[in-house]
Structure 1
């Protein structure tokens, strides 16, 4: 009986300690110039790799601890990072302002393909996409492409076996950042946020790489320029994750030799 009593006390103490560790922050995000609440602002806890969005009143609640860093982003507004403090956790809701960006539309060039009516000539002028489509886990079964069929089969093989290549440097020297890939893929809110984005900002912040290096990682995995330019952030995440998993498997095989 005493053993059962001791077990109950231990479980009760553990549950209290666990609940105390689960702290949250609440906030309201508004337009700095108009004072109006902003709906669907993306909020990501970079420290714990979890995320959420604001509701129609600009409100959000997110699990966080003191000294965690939150990344706030919204289309047309300047993204900011906010440090979580003990006072914020203790005293409740905080109002955060986002400033609008001055948007400048770039010139869009549309290629004009003029048909001559001569089949042999017209065929030569039509761009052909030779990319091979395949499925990335967690995404619709229609699949996505990664170069031609031979590239899809040998994806990352040529780079991985060279210990000095770009992929090895990025993945081998930043294992902690690469561990975030699994955390990002496991959090539904993060995946939903990434699926709606095409700017790579959240990925670069979470993985702590710049946009050029992020594109280079995907390119070194033999994904085409078309895929890099058109894929949303979730597709890029899945592409990097798949390539990294292949890297780990082949790296272990190489060490056994």
Structure 2
């Protein structure tokens, strides 16, 4: 009985310490150029997968622990990651500065193409656009053309010979990220946040994927290119989640 009481006395303080690890973090988001507050900035705790937004005064409050990383994103501004430190916890509130992006549109020169009727000549005349996405009929995956895309050939070959490998590399080798995927899907704040976003930035940050990886996942899961281009981030989240659950069922006995 004395041993049991001793163990309880040791366990209770430990539980209290763990419960205190997650606290409420407060702050204010401002424009770095003029110190004006920014309303409706999206904030996601990448470690715990919790979301929040700033109010009219630029203030926010989100649950976090020391060393968690908060991801700030706002239309027209450079997204940033801020680590929660002991100083932040001790100070109580900090100001987060976001930098506005300068948008410069490149001039596009369109040249007329005159065809001669000779295949060898015309093949050299017709321009090849590096940003065009190629797709092979009957195969779920696509690939990017142009020399600026280093893995284009490897990607299309792997799609032809073993399309299941890509999904295994994404899902099978990323259990932690896939757990976060389910947490995002169940969190109403995250879902509301993603419903108005189309830039994939939050998904990329939480799942640790590149934009091309997200496209390839959806391609391999038989989603159309039109869906991939036009869907908002919430729809993309649900699509990846559905594909992941199907992958788990198919690979349960393997």
Q: Which residue of 2 aligns with 1:46?
A: 46
Query: Equivalents in 1 of 2:60, 2:222: separation in Å?
Result: 39
Q: Which residue of 2 aligns with 1:83?
A: 83
Question: How far 1:178 sits from its partner (Å)?
Answer: 1.2
Q: Which residue of 2 aligns with 1:227?
A: 227
1:1-257 alignment, distance < 5 Å: 16-17=16-17, 19-104=19-104, 165-253=165-253, 255=254
SS at 2:89 equivalent: helix
Query: Equivalents in 2 of 1:42, 1:203: separation in Å?
Result: 12
SS at 1:222 equivalent: coil
| TM-score, reference length from structure 2 | 0.71
Query: Which consecutive residues of structure 1, in runs of 5 or more, have no partner in the other structure?
Result: 109-150, 152-158
Q: Alignment length, in residue pairs?
A: 202
Query: Which consecutive residues of structure 2, in runs of 5 or more, have no partner in the other structure?
Result: 109-139, 141-158
CA root-mean-square deviation? 2.8
Question: How far 1:165 sits from its partner (Å)?
Answer: 2.3
SS at 2:36 equivalent: coil
CA deviation profile, 1:116-167 (whole Å, cap 9, x unmatched): xxxxxxxxxxxxxxxxxxxxxxxxxxxxxxxxxxx9xxxxxxx9xx685211
Query: Equivalents in 1 of 2:11, 2:176: separation in Å?
Result: 32
- 1:215–1:107 Cα change, 3 Å: farther
| TM-score, reference length from structure 1 | 0.70
Tell me if structure 1 keeps the 8 A contact 2:163–2:220: no
- 1:19–1:165 Cα change, 3 Å: closer
Question: How far 1:14 sits from its partner (Å)?
Answer: 7.4
Question: How far 1:105 sits from its partner (Å)?
Answer: 5.2
Tell me if structure 1 keeps the 8 A contact 2:67–2:84: yes
Query: Equivalents in 1 of 2:163, 2:74: separation in Å?
Result: 39
Query: Equivalents in 2 of 1:190, 1:103: separation in Å?
Result: 27
- 1:208–1:15 Cα change, 3 Å: closer
- 1:218–1:32 Cα change, 3 Å: same
Query: Equivalents in 1 of 2:28, 2:200: separation in Å?
Result: 25
Question: How far 1:21 sits from its partner (Å)?
Answer: 2.5
Query: Equivalents in 1 of 2:163, 2:219: separation in Å?
Result: 17
Tell me if structure 1 keeps the 8 A contact 2:31–2:37: yes
